[in-house]
Amino acid sequence: MRFSAGKFLERGMWMAAAILFVVSTIAPGPAAYGQPGAARITGMAHMAYYVSDLKSARDYYEGFLGFQEAFTLKNANASDHVVFIKINDHQYIELYNEPVKNYGYIHDAGFETDDAKGMRDHLAAMGVTVPEKVTKDATGNLSFEMTEPSGFTIQIVQYLPGSMTGKTKGKFMRATRISDHIDHIGLLIKDKDVTWKFYNEAFGFVKEGDGSKMAIPGSDDRFEVGWERKEPVEARFHVKDHICLSVPDAPKMTAELKTKSQITEFPAAIADIHQLGNGKNVVEIYDLDHNRVETMEPPKPGDQAGL
């Protein structure tokens, strides 16, 4: 039998290619979103606002709406930089004492994850620009920021037990606050189809109803997709960029707010009271920077998804 070096090399190359294919298919890599072990978004963490007057903002969220400050980040000169207003152990309103930079006064929206590093790796694999690594932030949590398709900053945060968040667990939650849950965070986006695709592939959010709301699998929290038929003016960002607080009885909450002493400081705060087709009551409240806090009664049995 004659030996053929050419055929031997050819067979060797085919065998090497086959081995490489097998190894590449079984080698561990970042888990795809939704698969066991994959990092996921567990809920809405916060809405962060630039505020033009920190004292007035505190009076509004703490005195008028009844929430409490859990902790504060300081500037180098010991003045207050970021105030964390607590809704519950997982959700906050953050007040940035900085010059306003964006329409709607939005600094960022925050999503909680169970694995910040895994979420960073997942987004990087999608081609999203993210930091090279996840580090602890000033509060002691693992977090990083990225920019979504409409230009908003999204902070991805994983709460840690020893952080400021962890150390205040179970504290700073008055029973008299108007709500104990952010139902959804809404942003005024540029393109519906691009947004739906991105938030589904990046975070696993699922469209509800007409797509104006997106559900977060495994969570009661939701994300609202706001859009306009024409180029929006600044005022529309104040309306569409918002948080929605779940309240058990909106008319009762409204009556109680009207009796508070702070109503003289915020006489135009309660801007609109209406009822949805399913009977849920909604009250729109605005702070002095014209940012909207929507308050809405929770879904009732049989409610159409997306309301």
pLDDT digits (tens, 9 = 90+) for 204-226: 999 999 999 999 999 999 999 99
pLDDT score of 75 more than 90: yes
The beta strand positions in the chain, using DSSP E, are 41-50, 68-74, 80-88, 91-96, 106-113, 135-136, 142-147, 153-158, 182-188, 206-208, 213-215, 222-226, 242-246, 270-275, 281-286, 292-296
Cβ–Cβ < 8 Å for 77, 16:
no
* CA gap 163, 180 in Å, rounded: 21
pLDDT score of 21 more than 50: no
pLDDT score of 13 more than 50: no
Chain centroid to Cα 69, Å, comes to 19
The per-residue pLDDT for range 112-155, each reduced to its tens digit, is 999 999 999 999 999 999 999 999 999 999 999 999 999 999 99
The per-residue pLDDT for range 256-306, each reduced to its tens digit, is 999 999 999 999 999 999 999 888 999 999 999 999 999 999 876 666 555
Q: What is the pLDDT of residue 104?
A: 77
- What are the chain's domains? 41-296 (3.10.180.10)
**Residues 139, 59, 104, 215: is their CA dihedral positive or negative?**
positive
